[in-house]
Structure 1
Amino acid sequence: MRSRAAVLGAALELLAERGITATTIEAVAERSGVAKTTIYRQWDSQAALVLDAFGSVLRAPADPDTGTLRGDLLELLTGYAHALSRKPATGLLFALIDAAERDPAFATLHRREAGNRHTVILAVIARGVARGELPPGTDPADVLDLVAGPLFHRRAVSAGTVDSGFAERVVDRVLAAYR
């Protein structure tokens, strides 16, 4: 559907140029040339439209199932590192997090979408526990925080390089800590 692609493309442009607050339905309609009524038929709110635009570039990962927890985590974290090192994904992610802190509608949508993205990595970690690669009783959410947190911190706080080598070091250190 051409109007959907035009609307999402316009929303992404506006998000990159002006941020979430300025990415209104009206602004998207003007930029895309698609009528507001058409936009409202597909998206009932600005938050829903913005989240859909984010989802078009920030996709949930596929389950790698390489046969080992290390291999699975490396594949997932390498993808995460790649996403954190490129535009517009990084800027969009940080804008969404900021909006979620300020607006309950964005907070709800962000939690739902983050949960969808975390489902795969939590399943990978649970599979590692079931295979005995992590101790029984290991909380997959704790492992998720320990492997993803350093990548996000390095990109958002210390402005360091986030690449596959860093992701590999994080995975190896976290798994060593659990041994």
Structure 2
Amino acid sequence: MTPATDPRIRRTRAAVLGTALGLLVERGVAGTTVEAVAERSGVAKTTIYRHWDGQAALVLDAFASVRRPPEDPDTGTLRGDLVALVTGLADAVSRGPAAALWFALVDAAERDPRLADLHHREAEARHAIIRRVVERGVGRAELPRGTDPAEVLDLLAGPIFYRRTTSGAPVDRRYAERLVDRVLRAYPA
């Protein structure tokens, strides 16, 4: 039996990662130490160090355990694709365990190069999708040639993050549709 298939090892790893996720939400990266995970999970520090070489590796694995690959919507219309992206972004930063973790990652990326690299890779994967959506929109003559995908992303994502971090106003499908319609009016085809 390999370590990856040993049920005891899988249970131990799941307990450690689950505990690390809870601590990340409660305390952020700085409070998610190997010692804190060991104390809360009941798993010995030596066991944790057998699977992870330290706090950064453990935190990276915890983030990876809840990561959901971004979806590339192709509804047939630019508007439909953008509404899907905006509602997906709103869900990602507002609901579920990944929401609190996302902000912990942004904070930690300011201080840890490995976490900064993870944050950069996550952002780049999502930016690649908006680029494809905008390129399809240009190809279908729904956007003018030369439309900057990064600018479209800024115009759509900015209000979502503002609502999540500052105003606390909800982002439902109706809001997402209104936001997309306003942004599309700025780009007459």
Supply the AA of the counterpart residue of 1:124: V
Deviation string for 1:66-88 (max 9, x for gaps)?
Answer: 11111111112112122233243
CA RMSD of aligned residues (A): 2.0
Paired residues of 2:156 and 2:179 also in contact (CA < 8 A): yes
Alignment partners' CA distance in 1, 2:147 and 2:165: 28
Give how far 1:45 is off: 4.7
Please tell me whether the aligned partners of residues 131 and 149 of structure 2 are also in contact (alpha carbons under 8 angstroms): yes
Unaligned runs of 5+ in 1: none
Supply the distance in 1 between the matched residues of 2:63 and 2:27 (Cα, whole angstroms). 15
State the percentage of identical aligned residues.
64
Taking the TM superposition and a 5 Å limit, the aligned residue runs for 1:126-145 are 126-145=135-154
Question: For residue 38 of structure 1, what is the aligned residue in structure 2?
Answer: 50
1:101 aligned partner? 110
Aligned pair count reads 176
Segments ≥4 residues shifted beyond 6 Å: none
> Does 2:135 correspond to 1:120?
no
CA 1:162–1:52 in structure 2 vs 1: closer, same or farther (change >3 Å)? farther
After superposing the two structures, state which structure 1 stretch, 150-159 or 2-11, moved more: 2-11
Give the C-alpha shift of residue 58 in structure 1: 4.2
Tell whether 2:32 aligns with 1:23.
yes
Tell me, in whole angstroms, the C-alpha distance in 1 between the residues paired with 2:185 and 2:122. Answer: 30
The alpha-carbon deviation at position 31 of structure 1 amounts to 3.4
Matched, 1:51 2:60: yes
Q: Which moved more, 1:49-58 or 1:87-96?
A: 49-58
Q: CA 1:5 to 1:116, structure 2 compared with 1: closer, same or farther past 3 Å?
A: farther
Q: Is the 8 A contact 1:147 1:174 kept in 2?
A: yes
Letter in 1 for 2:30: T
